[in-house]
Structure 1
Amino acid sequence: MARTRLLFACLALAVPLVPATASASPLAAPLHASGLVLSVQPESGPLRTTQLNCEPSGGLHPHAEQACDQLTPVEGDFRRLEETGAMCTMELNPTKATLRGKWRKKRIDFQQVYSNPCVVRAFTGKVFDF
């Protein structure tokens, strides 16, 4: 009986030490200077959304590094991106491209409607290529 009490006393003292030890070296989450949520919504088609982090590049965007490389010189304003020169059909399928989040310390909320998904990619390069 004395051994059982001693065991419980030791366990009672050890339990508070476990969280303190576990929190002594927390995992550092990467700090991103820019975090954006991008979406593409064609009139005839599904909504697609992804996350893009820049500085450093990452997130769920399949071309994060190239997209960040394009957004950096225009300070996150995708309307200032240079046209890629891609050839698109004359299909009419109005498509809204939306970019929301933080670029460096500035909040951004942009959207633009293009005539179809191909034109979105032609005007925004890898940024909306997901």
Structure 2
Amino acid sequence: MPRHSGGMARTRLLFACLALAAPIVPTTAQAAPLPASGLVLSVRPEMGSLSTTQLTCEPAGGLHKHAKEACDQLIPVEGDFRRLEDSGAICTMELNATKATLRGKWRNKKVDFQQVYSNPCVLRAFTGKVFDF
């Protein structure tokens, strides 16, 4: 019987040591990085020239002069600028059809969005800093 109780004592001691050692083991789990978002944006007014830039988000960067602000606007709408709300800016009734295009990857998902606005002012009113480059 002592032989059996000695084995149990060793088992209890082993479990006690493991319980104490568990908190000492460093955790190697890290938050998974956000998927890449790399976009090409272009604006083509009917009466004007084509403008194009590059934008990356999460983290914000690229050649876009307002990258952080543009990404801050695109993140809640999952990269679909057509879902942005009208800023309420007052624009003239000028007719200068302006096409906005956003293509690339948003969180590793292919995106290709286009919208035509009546003029560049209306474009900016509906898309904020996204197409302000």
TM-score scaled by structure 1? 0.75
Deviations 1:4-60 (A, max 9, x none): xxxxxxxxxxxxxxxxxxxxxxxxxxx972000000000000100000000000000
Superposition CA RMSD, Å:
1.2
CA distance in 2, matches of 1:82, 1:71: 11
SS at match of 1:72: helix
Of residues 93, 96, 103, the one that matches 1:100 is 103
Of residues 111, 115, 120, the one that matches 2:118 is 115
CA distance in 2, matches of 1:47, 1:70: 23
Aligned length: 100
CA distance in 2, matches of 1:55, 1:65: 9
Structure 2 gap segments, 5+ residues each: 1-33
Q: Following superposition of structure 1 onto structure 2, how do residues 17-28 of structure 1 map, counting pairs within 5 Å?
A: none
CA distance in 2, matches of 1:84, 1:38: 20
Look up the equivalent residue of 2:84 and give its one-letter code. Answer: L
Structure 1 stretches of 4+ with a deviation exceeding 4 A read none
CA distance in 1, matches of 2:87, 2:40: 22
Look up the equivalent residue of 1:88 and give its one-letter code. Answer: C
CA distance in 2, matches of 1:32, 1:49: 23
Give the number of the structure whose residues are more often helix, by fraction. 2
2:46 aligned with 1:33 = no
Check whether the contact 2:35–2:108 (CA below 8 A) recurs between aligned residues.
no
TM-score scaled by structure 2? 0.73
SS at match of 1:73: helix
